[in-house]
């Protein structure tokens, strides 16, 4: 089957065409308007989605060299995400399906991030563990089957990506800060400064304390040296990144040992981070586990992950009707 995938949960408008489980196109329109505000402005995001969605879909279809009548189903992100943003993608998917008389498939965005691992040949086998780390979520997911997933640990406050973005704001870096922290960290010494590791039970996480300790650390050091930040940016970023990565991987390692699982995957925007990718690779080499790390274009928000998830739902015959509505919060 040919599946058209639509993603619009946050600030990326994306469309993708998948044929028999193979991704033929993945068009992503990024929104730059939010940079001036230091974070995504929901009202602006939905307006830009409205401008971008038709060109993105047209490009995805033409790059895939298919005809829109060849499409067998339309898969879309139903949630979780920003309601106004989701509405644009959901409404588009519904109109497209109605006009061309095609079935609709709803996809959970967080399951989409996990199922991105089924693009390409290097696929994990069930059950596997997936650390999903993004702008809004930090989860250790026990993946028993394509749509049978259990969250065994998650953040109790900020998400990992949110912590990086907020820290970068404190460091005076522009939004989104995650990629910039990555860039500076590559030139720094990760052992230069020690930030605390929170003591949280089970497989849960907390990142709000880290953000606060970094704020005080900067404030105290700038008092004695006004140029402290500029002079030590690389070391600070390397140390912050190292702490975030060790918090994540220590819990993931424990979960893998206790559940006896050897296939370990990363997903979500923060899985684009160099330190995290290297850290998981090393951990898996040490332990004799298999690491699954997505290609960069499938880490941050994209419609290919929605299209591949849609493909597996198509095989099961799981469709939804025109009465479907987006959900800002959506459990698995």
Residue 135 annotated in ligand binding: yes
Q: From the CB of 132, what's the least distance to ligand ATP, in Å?
A: 8
58-70: burial string, b at 16+ Cβ within 10 Å, e else: eebbeebebebee
Length of the chain equals 332
- Please select the residue that binds ligand ATP; options are 124, 153, 268, 279, rule is CB under 6 A: 268
Residue 269 is a binding residue for ligand ATP (CB under 6 A): yes
Residue 168 is a binding residue for Fe ion (CB under 5 A): no
Q: From the CB of 239, what's the least distance to Fe ion, in Å?
A: 26
- Please select the residue that binds ligand ATP; options are 8, 14, 85, 273, rule is CB under 6 A: 273
Cβ atoms of 294 and 267 closer than 8 Å = yes
- Please select the residue that binds Fe ion; options are 31, 108, 134, 232, rule is CB under 5 A: 134
Candidate ranges 14-22, 96-104, 226-234, 265-273; the one touching ligand ATP (CB under 6 A): 265-273
SS3 content of the chain, % helix, strand, coil (to 5): 50, 20, 30
- Please select the residue that binds ligand ATP; options are 137, 166, 211, 313, rule is CB under 6 A: 137
Residue 108 annotated in ligand binding: no
Q: From the CB of 47, what's the least distance to ligand ATP, in Å?
A: 18
Secondary structure (DSSP) of 79-142: ESS-HHHHHHHHHHHHHHHHHHT--EEEEEHHHHHHHGGGSSS----SSEEEEEE-SS-EEEEE
Residue 136 annotated in ligand binding: yes
- Please select the residue that binds ligand ATP; options are 5, 84, 124, 135, rule is CB under 6 A: 135
Which of 124/294 has CB closer to Fe ion? 294
The CB density around residue 243, as the number of other CB atoms within 10 Å, is 22
Bridge partners (DSSP) listed for residue 77: 107
Q: How far is CA 129 from CA 114, 197, 199, in A?
A: 10, 22, 22
User: Which residues of this chain interact with Mg ion, rule CB under 5 A?
Assistant: 10-11
Q: From the CB of 48, what's the least distance to Mg ion, in Å?
A: 12
Chain centre distance of CA 126: 21
Residues in contact with Fe ion by the rule CB under 5 A: 134, 301
Residues in contact with ligand ATP by the rule CB under 6 A: 9-10, 81, 109, 134-137, 161, 164-165, 176-179, 182, 268-270, 272-273, 300-301
């Amino acid at each position: 089957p040919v599946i058209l995938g639509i993603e619009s949960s946050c600030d990326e408008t994306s469309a993708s065409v998948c044929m028999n489980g193979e991704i033929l196109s993945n068009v992503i329109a990024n929104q730059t308007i939010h940079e001036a505000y230091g974070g995504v402005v929901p009202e602006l995001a939905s307006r830009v989605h409205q401008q971008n969605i038709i060109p993105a879909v047209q490009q995805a279809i033409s790059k895939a060299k298919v005809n829109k009548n060849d499409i067998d189903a339309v898969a879309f992100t139903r949630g979780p995400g920003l309601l106004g943003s989701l509405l644009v993608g959901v409404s588009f998917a519904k109109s497209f399906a109605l006009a061309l008389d095609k079935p609709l498939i709803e996809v959970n965005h967080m399951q989409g991030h996990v199922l991105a691992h089924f693009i390409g040949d290097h696929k994990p086998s069930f059950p596997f563990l997936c650390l999903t780390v993004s702008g809004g979520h930090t989860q250790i997911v026990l993946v028993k089957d394509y749509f049978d997933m259990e969250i065994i640990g998650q953040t109790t406050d900020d998400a990992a990506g949110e912590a990086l973005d907020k820290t970068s704001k404190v460091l005076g870096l522009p939004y989104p800060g995650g990629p910039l922290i990555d860039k500076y960290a590559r030139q720094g010494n990760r052992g230069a400064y020690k930030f605390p590791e929170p003591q949280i039970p089970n497989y849960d996480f907390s990142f709000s304390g880290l953000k606060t300790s970094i704020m005080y650390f900067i404030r105290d050091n700038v008092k004695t040296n006004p140029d402290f930040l500029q002079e030590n940016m690389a070391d600070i970023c390397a140390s912050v990144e190292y702490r975030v990565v060790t918090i994540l991987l220590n819990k993931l390692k424990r979960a893998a040992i206790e559940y006896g699982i050897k296939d370990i995957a990363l997903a979500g925007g923060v899985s684009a981070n160099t330190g995290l990718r290297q850290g998981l690779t090393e951990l898996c080499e040490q332990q004799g586990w298999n690491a699954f790390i997505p290609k960069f274009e499938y880490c941050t928000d994209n419609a290919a992950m929605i299209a591949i998830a849609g493909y597996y739902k198509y095989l099961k015959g799981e469709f939804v009707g025109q009465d479907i509505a987006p959900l800002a919060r959506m459990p698995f």
